[in-house]
Amino acid sequence: MRQSTLFGRTLREAPAEAQTPGHRLMLRAAIARPLAAGLYTWLPLGFRVAKKVEQIIREEQDRIGAQEMEMPVLTPAETWKETGRWDALEPITFRTADHNGREFMVSYTHEEFVHLHAKQELQSYRQLPQIVYHFQSKGRDEARPRAGLLRAREFVMKDAYSFDADQTGLEKSYAAEHGAYERTFARMGLDAISVESDTGAMGGDVAHEFQVLTEAGEDRIAICPNCDYKANLEKASRSTDTYIAGATELPRPSEIATPSTTTIEALEASLKQPTTAFLKTLLLRDAKGTLVAVVLPGDRDINEAKLRKVLGTSEVKFANDGDFASAGSVPGFIGPIGLRVRTLVDRSVDGRPYIAGANKRDTHLRNVVKGRDFQGEQVDAHDVREGDLCPRCTVGKLSIKRGVEVGNIFAYGTYYSDKMNATFVAEDGTAKPFFGGSYGIGVGRAVQTIMETHHDEKGIVWPPQVAPFQAHLIALPVNDEDVRSKAEKLVDELERARVEVLYDDRDESAGVKFADADLIGIPLRLTVSARNLKQSQVEVKSRSAAAMEMVPLAFAAEKIAGIVRSWPR
């Protein structure tokens, strides 16, 4: 490929809107370009990377016996309605209708449709287990598309679906996909860790995410340095100390005058007590507008995803002043005693006497004790933080890292087959529901995550197995007849040896060409220059190392092909 006619122009500066190192490099190196917020075109360089990433994913799916197929982008509403997801997914999806008014969703995922197919194609237990997969464009109406390909509004996902006869089979399929994912990410140069995750809109109980730790990520992951516990904070828990009550009985609650003291911070300052001495009571509304109060220690925050899961709702919002009145309270002075509303008590709240709002203007109570003075459903809805104790080993202190979710796997069992009446004939002749799982990887997000984690100050440093080309041959100067003819001969020899070469035949300075080569980040840089040709040599430099090597021109193709063959695939 001649760089002079490559469709894609490198940029010296990234556009101001670029948010992360990978986002900046993606734009500068002409990997992809936005057409609109969150909608991207792969330019030829990026397209080549995306196809290599796709091929790695495909090979690992094929290795576990999964069959490739392809379901459409437009998916009919009536099938989504069978599982209730037509409404549930409304806030995050794009919809359309034909001229007869029949509605379709720009596909968000394909569980419903693969179950429709399974009903028709899989009739007997003898056809199980099965895994099918496809690569297909997905639409997500993200309110805030973020950081280029990390959170786009359209992207190609590989989604795989397993069908098993029972839970044991599902667990095997799930483990097979888990293994395939580990190999897949390792092959594309991503150090992805498997973490426990929330099942979100997918249903079911068991789910893992594959997270690549990088500051560019928007997820937060709790990691135990002492055991194998790793979890998204949307799911993470912690071990809590057991409070040992003193021998003497605790005094009853008593009022404290706290005029205009409506926040934990203000109470801390005026009462000279640590935040842990207070109870924080939040009054919230779920997606249907139902009120709920959540009680936490003063030093703890709600984890909204965990709370949504507890409530089985898609959204929680703060209550308004009228809600406080109907709950029997006052904004700024809310507390758990006597509250007329469903009350959830986070498990971080222990048996000690707390200071809490009195549900009365300008007043708090001291000596408020859980169980004795107020009741509530015990839940886990607080945000785990750095230094919390690991819930598994109860010894390690959790650290919190940022991560990009590059893949996720869900074991949802009969969640869809029950709703859609998707059954097969079991060995005993009865109709049984399929046990299913689904397994996703976003191609664009994987490509950008590779850039987020493989670059230096000069540009991208592609892992060889996903690089757009394997060698970048630079002719200097290109208008020197001898340089050009020898460069083109070497390109030809390399291509015959099946080395993928980007040939910089542009009439540009050495400075421009080397800067572009560093920016684009192809693993091997080969320089055919007038100076090197005096010794009949080619300069070979690895993008990931500083050292250069001079190789005799006559052996260059063979040597370079040998290096390329030695790379992992």
Interface segment toward a copy of itself; rule CB under 8 A; list 122-130, 331-339, 458-466, 537-545: 122-130
Angle between helices 553-566 and 481-496 (to 10 degrees): 40
103-106 vs 192-196, strand pairing mode: unpaired
Judged by CB under 8 A, does residue 270 bind a copy of itself? Answer: no
Q: Quick one: 121 or 386, whose CB is closer to a copy of itself? A: 121
Of the candidate spans 63-71, 232-240, 397-405, 486-494, the one that interacts with a copy of itself by CB under 8 A turns out to be 63-71
Four-CA torsion 326, 329, 330, 332, nearest 10 degrees = -130
Q: Is 169 in the site for a copy of itself (CB under 8 A)?
A: no
Among the listed ranges 111-119, 381-389, 403-411, 512-520, the one in contact with a copy of itself (CB under 8 A) is 111-119
Count Cα atoms within 13 angstroms, Cβ side, for 59. Answer: 13
The yes or no reply on residue 67 touching a copy of itself (CB under 8 A) is: yes
Report if residue 47 touches a copy of itself, rule: CB under 8 A. yes
With CB under 8 A as the contact rule, the residue among 63, 84, 87, 96 that binds a copy of itself is 96
**Dist. CA 224–CA 231, nearest whole Å:** 9
Among 23, 29, 40, 464, binds a copy of itself (CB under 8 A): 40
Residue 308, CA distances (Å) to 461, 485, 566 in order: 40, 66, 50
- Can you tell me the distance from the alpha carbon of 165 to that of 313, in angstroms, rounded to the nearest whole number? 31
Q: Which amino acid is at 514?
A: F
Residue closer to a copy of itself (CB basis): 76 or 200 = 76
Which residue from 104, 200, 250, 392 is in contact with a copy of itself, where contact means CB under 8 A? 104
Q: Which of 14, 18, 55, 76 binds a copy of itself (CB under 8 A)?
A: 76
Nearer CB in complex with a copy of itself: 94/367:
94
Q: Smallest distance, Å, CB 152 to a copy of itself? A: 9
Supply the DSSP string of 106-148, one letter for each residue. Answer: E-S--HHHHHHHHHHH--BGGG-SEEEEEEEEEE---SS-BTG
95 binds a copy of itself (CB under 8 A): yes
E-strand stretches of 394-470: 399-413, 423-425, 431-433, 435-442, 455-456, 459-460
Categorise residue 385: left if φ over 0, alpha if ψ from -120 to 50, beta otherwise: beta
- Beta partners for 96? 104
Closest CB 568 distance from a copy of itself, rounded Å: 22
CA end-to-end distance (rounded Å), the chain: 22
Distance (Å, whole) CA 223 – CA 399: 5
In this chain, which of 14, 18, 117, 337 binds a copy of itself, going by CB under 8 A? 117
Query: Which of 65/387 has CB closer to a copy of itself?
Result: 65
| Residues making contact with a copy of itself (CB under 8 A) | 1, 4-9, 30, 33, 35-36, 39-44, 47, 50, 65, 67-76, 79, 91, 94-99, 102, 104, 106, 113, 116-117, 120-123, 126-127, 130, 132, 134, 137, 139, 141, 143, 153-154
